[in-house]
Chain A
């Protein structure tokens, strides 16, 4: 089928301002949006830039704004768009490096700020084996552990657009994953960080994050759980 692509372009070495590139490509309805972009890059204009790697929705490289909604280009099929016109833009709220490539450093800074690692200095089991956990306890954090740090959520959040210093939904999901891990001992510190001015209270429950998460993580609910834990001091 024929597909018309409108892609927001910007090359800081040449362009004063972003512009729209328009391209017609022939695709199969079952092709991914990523394939359509590749047809452009490979056969029409090699200067087009994007990040991508796995091409099946597991590495988190190619979150972008497709017809007004953040998605992984590799996880969205052309036939599921319901139109033969696609408009593609970089994630909002992040500095554009070139075309669809945005500066991820601030995003990863926020991620690093919430102590995204297990903290537990207690002695390890004397038998040299694993710490014990029930499957229910694993299930409690399993949704959050699916996060691939693609930034689709953070790049869709009005609170983040308004203030890039807000840690953003993705970092809160990552914090949630440790706060509710029964093996972790730093929950109080993380809750303290998220209770600060640029923490969870910036969230206005717009639900954009939940709506775009390619891993179906119930992000808004997780943020609410963190808020509750801060207020009640109870982690459950």
Chain B
């Protein structure tokens, strides 16, 4: 039996964005949070390095204008500048709010929030590196997630933990809620809302080597797409330069903020060639490309497909690459980077204080996603607000990150736009009545799930395995829609995805039960990922230029004349329902970039 709930505001996702929105929404209206994970399991907790705000606590002359400029330049001028301005300005007061909530930030000698360097963050419009990243050792995201959850408990926010959103409900052009499955029982729940926010995080699991969690499959984003609404800038997916070789587990840029350097097979600090001024603290897109170029030129370690990140104190001191060129000690590094040092010890079995660490670029962050305005309201293909629908966090595209996000700018995006969205939802709920739910609104997705549930494998060889298809998808995305792309490689990915979508029709599962049926939900997640992977590959193939995280060998230059614009993609098969979008049934659109005080310039570091 379907259970019905009615809330003014429903927030899907309990990461940094969802919780910040929930805190502010629940101050003014009846609010519920739905999350497929217990809130504290959200991947915001994996964020390490820090959160950017021009507090200028280090007295190095920082200001929000510099932060805004770095964000725009880092995004290769694709960021909307009014949004970037809001990000940089609001950041300051949002970080202070987090401190007041009890976040245990590291402190300066005079007791204020301590800050460190991060890639692409500079003073005086690119002149020199600046210390802008506020941090709690290298578990900043963990502390943000914990602190926000604590405050939600204090405020008695209503949580539906381990509820899995499977569909978005629309009445005409208005969003009226969502459908979710209670994982523990398999029961169907319909949430009727005035304002629904999608804050479901990234979808890095479409790639093979990724820093993203197993749960980051983007199902709510796919639900939006399946309902015929557009996704924006999907071609821009960030590869973080320093993932642990093969595993993809992230080693934060904070390591390079503390002075670590990248070393090729010849023992050279190769970033000196690619970014003479900021070197190892160049933005991520540039460093990932540099690493791939070194590997292709045969200068990986032993000619293989990885390089070293060296964070031994003696190396840092040899290159004088520590903050301000100062000497660093092992004790200092152990204290500022305890988590990532432990990751290397546990997963690589080596001690990074004694040995350099094998690293390779790892799929990390979706710059694109659900298009929104500055109040987190979702926009349609004509830039009109879709009443009742909001989005914030990694799954949203405001766009503040443009074509490449700077490190520490996601966490601040979560709290700044999560907060704005939460407040806006209250305003909207106050002045709006509930729009009716369509009849049997949950029927479509329930039918979809039941058809999957009934496809039970009769013998080990029967039907397609979710894991086999998922691996094939991740492999083709990793190989063909990677740091460097060509028309040929992306067309290959598109063709592979077409084949995988066809094979998906024959997926079989083992578990037909109701209770905690993750076999079924993983099959559903795979369908969602196939849709999103197709959006990424398609929009990447369409964009004939190189910009930020989208680097094409066949179009190596940025082309502002033709491509200084956001891309949109939406479903176009005449239908709008909960099922997999038939391959190829999509349409492209575009949206102008809102420029402003910073004219697009060539991007040099």
Contact = CB atoms under 8 A, between A and B. Distances in A.
A211 interface: no
Given A130-B100, A183-B102, 4 more contacts: A13-B515, A14-B513, A53-B43, A118-B101
13 contacts: A46-B511, A57-B343, A58-B339, A60-B41, A97-B516, A98-B516, A101-B516, A115-B154, A130-B105, A132-B107, A133-B107, A138-B104, A183-B102
A132 B108 CA distance: 10
A11 B515 contact: yes
Interface stretch (A16-24, A142-150, A194-202, A221-229): A142-150
B496 interface: no
Contacts of B41: 51, 53-54, 59-61
A104 B519 CA distance: 21
B153 interface: yes
Contacts of B513: 11, 13-14, 47
A200 B241 CA distance: 46
B290 interface: no
A184 B154 CA distance: 14
Contact of A130 (B96, B150, B515): B96
B102 A12 contact: no
Contact of B519 (A13, A46, A138, A148): A46
B582 to A, nearest CB: 26
B515 A56 contact: no
Interface string A1-38: 00000000001111000000000000000101000000
Interface in B77-100: 93, 96, 99-100
A54 B205 CA distance: 11
A109 to B, nearest CB: 11
Interface string B243-254: 000010100000
A219 B101 CA distance: 24
Nearest to A144: B104
Most chain B CB inside 10 Å of its own CB: which residue of A57, A130, A137 = A130
Interface in B95-139: 96, 99-102, 104-107, 109-114, 136-137, 139
B467 A58 contact: no
B249 A47 contact: no
Contact of B213 (A54, A116, A145): A54
A203 interface: no
Contacts, number: 149
Contact of B516 (A49, A55, A130, A183): A49
Chain A interface main SS type: loop
A124 B104 contact: no
B23 to A, nearest CB: 11
Contacts of B37: 53, 59, 61
B509 interface: yes
Given A61-B37, A130-B113, A138-B105, A56 B347 contact: yes
Contacts of A12: 515
A181 B102 contact: yes
B104 A55 contact: no
Interface string B140-151: 001100110011
Contacts of B139: 58, 146
B544 to A, nearest CB: 36
Contacts of A49: 516, 518
B305 interface: no
B510 A47 contact: yes
Contacts of A61: 37-38, 41
A41 B516 CA distance: 14
B96 A129 contact: yes
Interface residues of A, number: 61
A153 interface: no
Contacts of A57: 343, 346
B516 A129 contact: no
A53 B510 contact: no
Contacts of A183: 102
A156 B333 CA distance: 33
Given A13-B515, A148-B142, A54 B46 contact: yes
Contacts of A128: 93, 96
A98 B213 contact: no
B40 interface: yes
A55 B247 CA distance: 10
Interface in B320-351: 339, 343, 346-347, 349
Contacts of A60: 40-41
B111 A54 contact: no
B387 interface: no
A75 interface: yes
B465 interface: yes
B514 interface: yes
A45 interface: yes
Contacts of A120: 102
B515 A112 contact: no
A64 B169 CA distance: 38
Interface in A84-108: 97-99, 101, 104, 108
A59 B466 CA distance: 24
Residue among B38, B40, B41, B247 with the highest chain A CB neighbour number at 10 A: B41
Contacts of A124: 100
B513 to A, nearest CB: 5
B153 A134 contact: no
Interface string B26-64: 000000000001101111011000000000000000000
